[in-house]
Structure 1
Amino acid sequence: MTTVEVWRTTDRLLPLGEAADGAWIAEQAVRALLVTAAEGVRGVVPGRPRFRLARETGTPLPVPPGGLPPGGLVISLDFAAVAGRPLPVLAERLRSALLGSAEERLGLTVDAVNLRVTALLDAAPDSTPPAPPPGRTTPPVPDSPIALAALAVEGVAALTDVFGSPVRQDDGRLRVELAVTEGRHPLDVVRGVRAAVTAAAPEATAVTVLVSELR
């Protein structure tokens, strides 16, 4: 019997790690982290990071709805620069900050970072406090060994339902959605979760994990 999956968000999912990791992370979570990294580069006022797939590596695991297939990503960012600072040096510092956050902090595979200066500023604009994040909800924990196994992995903050059910099983396919504790490496947490839920559900033929947020 075919089941209809209800998707609760328009947010895309970006491939996390290698194809064999079976992991994806919400684009919104990645974008927030990269903006923070870019704002840490003195003399830069970043815009909104954009992502596209540069190359597809292929995967034997199912790609979730709204997800890019595993492969190398291209990150593009427009930014304003404070005048008086050498632009090549500024751009290199910005590129390094973005790559460090994307690859080392998260575990994304990045093929290129494209930067474009859109304005030169006499001085950095006054910073305004960011809007408070929308209220986050944590769904009830499903009463299943799979859910309990996932929650027992260090670094799992909660199971979530942004992209569907926290635990979804269908024709041998198993998918778990979760939030990762801020400061923990998402890819390491995902690998731990995949190992734990695979042991809890040995009948599953394909196990994937979605990271909806960092909290």
Structure 2
Amino acid sequence: MTTADGSRRAQGWTAAVRQRLGLGRLLPLGGPADGAWISERAAVGVLRQAVGRPGPVVLELRIAVADAQAAPEPQVPSPPSALPPGPLRIEATVAATAHQPLPAAAAALRSALLAAAAQRLGLVVDEVDVQVTELLDTEPERAEPPRVEVRPADPEDAAGRAAAGVTGVATLTRVLGASVHTAADHVRIELATEGGHRALDVARGVRSAVTRAVDGHPPVAVLVTAVTAEPARRSSPGPAG
């Protein structure tokens, strides 16, 4: 192996590690029987888009299980290091102006985050903690959220083709490894969903389609690594095999 080959391999490995770490926590979608998770990065992107104007400016959002010790075990094997499927807690750090009383602004932000979490994603959220850390004199300019880079993966087997054909799937992805991970006791599908579809509903559709398509009808877990604003490039699922 040449020095150039070794350098390219090292760069590829470093990029893969950064991509995995960039996902953040893997959050449960729905309940213990749903077998679905979403990356914190994807969830935060959707929640930020739901924050209305004018109002507090979200500086940071963090999502975690509200009580990890009381969270039930998932009924489908979870992705590596995924959080258990218990109710979640959102922590929002914000900057606010004096144009609206802080209690009212915080309450409106909580309502927006709760609604987006349930209606656009399918997250079960019990608590939203809003902390105002900055006071602003004027309403600031708000930058558009950065576009999420999604690296599509082509479906290569019956499970992948079945998943790619479900409405709301933007593309299969390849962040934690192969887009279709087959274990002795389950199959895991990694994908991105389209922003116009509730992530949990898409995941349920994928689980049903893949279970039907794979010999033995194994349990299926779904990991949503991204939610796209627009449909990503997708390959034709082709005939089921």
Is the pair's TM-score, using the shorter chain for normalization, greater than 0.5?
yes
CA RMSD of aligned residues (A): 1.8
Matched, 1:86 2:101: yes
Q: Work out the CA distance in 2 between the residues paired with 1:61 and 1:129.
A: 37
Of residues 40, 44, 64 in structure 2, which corresponds to 1:52? 64
SS in 1 for 2:60: coil
Q: What is the CA distance between 1:204 and its match in structure 2?
A: 4.6
What corresponds to 2:113 in structure 1?
Answer: 98
Q: What is the CA distance between 1:202 and its match in structure 2?
A: 4.2
Alignment CA distance shift 1:185-1:81 (3 Å): same
Per-residue CA deviations over 1:19-70 (Å, capped at 9, x if unaligned) read 10100011101111112222x2423111110112113122232121131111
Matches within 5 A, 1:17-36: 17-36=30-49
Contact 2:95 2:135 in 1 (8 A): yes
Per-residue CA deviations over 1:94-148 (Å, capped at 9, x if unaligned) read 00000011111110000100011112111122334555x3643212321x11111
Q: Work out the CA distance in 2 between the residues paired with 1:128 and 1:181.
A: 22
Structure 1 gap segments, 5+ residues each: 1-5
Q: Percent identity?
A: 43
Of residues 182, 186, 191 in structure 1, which corresponds to 2:204? 191
What corresponds to 1:169 in structure 2?
Answer: 182
Q: Work out the CA distance in 2 between the residues paired with 1:26 and 1:122.
A: 35
**AA at the equivalent of 1:171:** A
**AA at the equivalent of 2:181:** R
Matched, 1:9 2:24: no
Alignment CA distance shift 1:161-1:205 (3 Å): same
Alignment CA distance shift 1:138-1:211 (3 Å): same
How many equivalent residue pairs?
207
Contact 1:173 1:204 in 2 (8 A): no
Q: Work out the CA distance in 1 between the residues paired with 2:144 and 2:127.
A: 31
Structure 2 gap segments, 5+ residues each: 1-15, 229-241
Alignment CA distance shift 1:105-1:96 (3 Å): same
What corresponds to 1:121 in structure 2?
Answer: 136
**AA at the equivalent of 1:46:** V
Contact 1:41 1:97 in 2 (8 A): no
What corresponds to 2:150 in structure 1?
Answer: 136
Q: Work out the CA distance in 1 between the residues paired with 2:58 and 2:83.
A: 24
